[in-house]
Amino acid sequence: MVSLCYILLVLITIYVLWVSLAIVKRSGSLILVVPIAVMYFWSIFGAWSWIPLKLSGGSYFYEDILFAVNIDENYFLMLLYYSLFIVFFCTFIMNHIKRNRNQNCDNNLLYREEIEKLAGNSHYNLILYVLFGIFVLSSFRDIIAAMSSNVSAYSLSRFDSTVKNGSLIQFCGDTFTYLALPILYTQNHRFRRIIIMILFGLYFAFNFLLGNRNILICDLVIAAVLYTQLHGLKSAFKPRNIVLVAVLFFMIQIISFVRGLAVNDIVKGTQSIGVEEVFMSATRSSEQYAAQISMYGVLKYDVPITYGKGVLYFISTFIPQFVGIDRPERLYNYYIQHTVHSKLDMGVTMHHATAWYLDFGVVGIILGALLWGYVLIYLYRKKRRFLYLYGAIIFSAVSIQMIRDSGIESYKGCLILNTIIPMLVIYFCTRRQRIRV
């Protein structure tokens, strides 16, 4: 069984590398390959170190929280299902690129013009400042409370927050970054660009203390991919840009080392951190393993297929709670109840493909891959307009959260809240300008 696992790992790795290079060559863009890289990292990459760990008789602490994992038929089947998900997604993307490869054109000038319009739009900037103010003022309360109690702001904000509607506050902070990032590339509004850079510095400081790392990683990916669209791939891989991205990634990754410390200790800088240790930690995420082995738990305990439980919950989230209709059980809770011995929500993650499997079996894995690919392609094929280009970039980047955030339920956050709402803000602000002209 170990040999079969390694053969599958080699084959899917070669396939991912080949298809990624082919897509970049044909599209001249990184938008379509970011989700592929994320899928591989959260689905396959961890197996390269997990298999040797188990063969040497070792164990991972997450197994005590979740369930024991062995390199057996279920493990091979888990890798096979994840590979199936990746292959169907990539096949869908490749087919689109083949059909449209002769229609690609250079729209850099149009993109720059739209960015300049956004940077000069007073309503757009007002929205940015309001969103930033809501996030900072609300988050500041948790930081002060953590300093007073000498505890971690990361733990306090998640389990004992002093702020009501924490998800709404985080939404304001996330939306601020999505809307502000394009202004970093303005040429005619340097003062506003400086203001945005200052706000980003403050935003990073708050998220550093609060331990919010994922949104900063998404922002870095969005900024990098948008840069490649404006300046080209060759320019993006200049040494200075590579160094800049590495430095920013290092600063963000430090959060994983300090977010468990009390705020007072973080401010004092009592933690000693090595550069190599920080970069290597990115490949040893505990969440990475928890998401990866979620399919194993479903197969190991032969969890029954729900035939649409996740879809029903997704639909129910659009019904206001004051209506009084009880929402069905979350698919994530169903997964926990049937796999985790304690039956408690331990805050662990569930792979996107695992959730689709629990909904509709192997057919669900294929449907999930095709739906993801269709949404991304729908936005990408309209990229002649900056509105859709940027929507495709955002949706591509938030795959970091989507791949380990359940199945179709993740579309409410990643597509509607994180992608469509920023697109609507951009649309109405630029539309108002066109009407005035």
pLDDT on residue 17: 96
Identify whether residues 294 and 429 lie together within a single domain. Answer: yes
Last residue of a domain, one of 272, 305, 328: 272
pLDDT on residue 374: 95
Q: How far is CA 295 from the centre of its chain?
A: 20
Q: How many domains does the chain have?
A: 2
Identify whether residues 323 and 297 lie together within a single domain. Answer: yes
Residue 207 has pLDDT above 70, yes or no: yes
DSSP 3-state of 59: coil
Q: Is residue 278 part of a domain?
A: no
Residues 6+ apart with CB under 8 A from 141: 162, 163
pLDDT on residue 343: 58
Q: Is residue 279 part of a domain?
A: no
Identify whether residues 195 and 180 lie together within a single domain. Answer: yes
Is there a contact between 240 and 261 (Cβ–Cβ < 8 Å)?
A: no
Q: Is residue 226 part of a domain?
A: yes
pLDDT on residue 406: 82
The pLDDT-based confidence of 208 (bands split at 50, 70, 90) is confident
pLDDT on residue 298: 94
Q: In sequence order, what E strands does 131-276 have? A: none
Identify whether residues 197 and 290 lie together within a single domain. Answer: no
Q: Is residue 14 part of a domain?
A: yes
Last residue of a domain, one of 272, 305, 324: 272
Of 89, 11, 82, 42, give the one whose Cα is nearest residue 296.
82
Q: Is residue 52 part of a domain?
A: yes
Identify whether residues 167 and 86 lie together within a single domain. Answer: no
pLDDT on residue 273: 65
Identify whether residues 115 and 257 lie together within a single domain. Answer: yes
For 38-64, write each residue's pLDDT tens digit.
999 999 988 888 889 888 888 777 777
For 273-311, write each residue's pLDDT tens digit.
666 666 666 666 666 676 778 899 999 999 999 998 888
Q: Is residue 328 part of a domain?
A: yes
The pLDDT-based confidence of 23 (bands split at 50, 70, 90) is very high
For 228-279, write each residue's pLDDT tens digit.
999 888 888 889 989 998 888 888 888 877 777 776 766 666 566 666 666 6
Identify whether residues 113 and 258 lie together within a single domain. Answer: yes
Identify whether residues 191 and 336 lie together within a single domain. Answer: no
Q: Return the residue matching tokens 């002649």.
A: 384
pLDDT on residue 212: 87
Q: Is residue 277 part of a domain?
A: no
Alpha carbon distances (Å) from 120 to 158, 175, 384, 425? 37, 19, 21, 14
Identify whether residues 333 and 392 lie together within a single domain. Answer: yes
Which backbone phi and psi does 350 adopt, to 5 degrees? -125, 130
pLDDT on residue 423: 95
The continuous run of DSSP H or E covering 200 comes out as: helix 190-210
Residue 137 has pLDDT above 70, yes or no: yes
pLDDT on residue 124: 94
Last residue of a domain, one of 246, 272, 298: 272
The pLDDT-based confidence of 404 (bands split at 50, 70, 90) is confident
Identify whether residues 314 and 425 lie together within a single domain. Answer: yes
Average pLDDT of the residues in 371-383: 94
DSSP 3-state of 405: strand
pLDDT on residue 283: 61
pTM to 2 decimal places: 0.91
Average pLDDT of the residues in 306-331: 81
Residue 75 has pLDDT above 80, yes or no: yes
Identify whether residues 99 and 115 lie together within a single domain. Answer: no
For 148-160, write each residue's pLDDT tens digit.
877 777 777 776 6
**Residue 257: domain span:** 108-272
Q: Is residue 36 part of a domain?
A: yes
Identify whether residues 112 and 100 lie together within a single domain. Answer: no
Residue 81 has pLDDT above 60, yes or no: yes
pLDDT on residue 100: 44
pLDDT on residue 437: 42
